[in-house]
Amino acid sequence: MTSPVPRRAAPLTLRGSSPLAAGPPRESPRVALPEKDRTAARVSMAVTLEEAPWLGWIVVKALVRFAFMVANNLVAISSYVCYVIVLQPLRLLDSKRFWYIEGIMYKWLLGMVASWGWYAGYTVMEWGDDIKAVSKDEAVMLVNHQATGDVCTLMMCLQDKGLVVAQMMWLMDHIFKYTNFGIVSLIHGDFFIRQGKSHRDQQLLLLKKHLENNYRSRDRKWIVLFPEGGFLRKRRETSQAYAKKNNLPFLTHVTLPRIGATNIILSSLVARQENGSPAGGDAKELESKSKGLQWIIDTTIAYPKAEPIDIQTWILGYRKPTVTHVHYRIFPIKDVPLETDDLADWLYQRFIEKEELLSHFYETGAFPPPKGHKEAVSREMTLSNMWIFLIQSFAFLSGYMWYNIIQYFYHCLF
């Protein structure tokens, strides 16, 4: 049963009036403020003047952070590309070892991005299942999407999950291919998907081919997918109209997910037993592993007051320190239907649950406890300052080294 769509109130108008008969606007008479109001106005101006140094500090800090990010990107990304080029012979001799080294450098790069938010006070609180328990298995993360900061949040909260980040494949909008990080994602083997009905069928075929050519050969373990296909603010109205037309739940904090990419991933990566059923894992017996995809990790990101962080805020750090909350729920792949219609129902149900989780969070400031528990337990995610210092130092030292090597060969040749 769908919830009724709230109707917009009709604009108020005065009887007998019309825009044509209104005539030219009259200048409002100036009214002298009482002494009490004039005093309040002067106090308000004084507060504004007192805040000026603070605002100036925010601007200066944002400019310094931006300059550091530019330098950080220049040395880190260029060094990554140089290392990959030099290691190409190893790729021919020992492909598995090459992609292991590439994955470690990829994790360090994402750790640098995470550190930008970490030092601005944008931290993460984790709820629900402990995903470290399945960090060595193959899994798909299904994540709700609100802003560009969602990606940065995941880069942060997955840093302490072993080699998950190093062995991860992201599915992201094709526009990211043309950003500064695009070359890194192309080398690593992430997939850029083009949105829109006219591209949908072709993109799904390309995704299937991409998984066949890159997932196993590069020893990938996890895939990050945003099934909504876009930001909440951009898709909500369309999703609600579709839900009303097709008698589906009316959602406000998430949108109805798209099935195509999830279906392709499961059909391509889930190992089949001889009887045709999926060979998945069991949460109670993590030791007995099977080849292929084993887990679905339903991931829900919540921001205080429903105010998401975007990439600009993450870089410049002009927003006050904020704790982003991330809720995990792990499903064994054997409990996930693989037929298209059943999978669609299962996926819709996950996003209905996300809607309930987010509604509870926005009302109480916490996620609801799991069934059978009196209260929900949260875990504060932390980054090691020493580890961040080491990878940042390595990046700048590498940049200096490659600059001197390139300069030496340039002088030798010319």
pLDDT score of 346: 96
Look at residue 113 and tell me whether its pLDDT is greater than 80: yes
Look at residue 292 and tell me whether its pLDDT is greater than 90: no
pLDDT score of 230: 84
- 357 confidence band (pLDDT: 50, 70, 90): very high
pLDDT score of 20: 34
pLDDT score of 359: 95
Summarize the confidence of residues 58-84 as an average pLDDT: 92
For residues 153 and 163, give the distance between their C-alpha atoms in angstroms, rounded to a whole number: 17
pLDDT score of 12: 36
Match 């429903």 to its residue by tokens.
Answer: 306
**Whether 368 contacts 166, CB under 8 Å:** no
Look at residue 85 and tell me whether its pLDDT is greater than 50: yes
* E-strand stretches of 306-383: 322-332, 378-381
Summarize the confidence of residues 308-324 as an average pLDDT: 91
pLDDT score of 272: 60
Summarize the confidence of residues 191-210 as an average pLDDT: 86
pLDDT score of 196: 72
Residue pLDDT, tens place only, 156-200: 999 999 999 999 999 988 888 887 788 999 999 999 988 777 778
pLDDT score of 371: 77
| β-bridge partners, 141 | 224, 297
CA-atom Rg of the chain in angstroms: 26
Summarize the confidence of residues 80-102 as an average pLDDT: 96
168, containing H or E segment: strand 168-173
Look at residue 275 and tell me whether its pLDDT is greater than 60: no
Summarize the confidence of residues 272-279 as an average pLDDT: 50
Summarize the confidence of residues 84-93 as an average pLDDT: 96
pLDDT score of 278: 56
User: Three-state secondary structure along 213-250?
Assistant: HHCCCCCCCEEEECCCCCCHHHHHHHHHHHHHHCCCCC
**Whether 153 contacts 354, CB under 8 Å:** no
What sign does the CA torsion over 319, 321, 324, 325 have?
Answer: negative
Residues whose CB falls within 8 Å of the CB of residue 273, separated by 6 or more in sequence, listed in order: 279
348, containing H or E segment: helix 340-364
**Whether 109 contacts 83, CB under 8 Å:** no
Q: How high does pLDDT run on average in the chain?
A: 83
Residue pLDDT, tens place only, 359-396: 999 999 999 988 767 777 888 888 999 999 999 999 99
pLDDT score of 48: 63
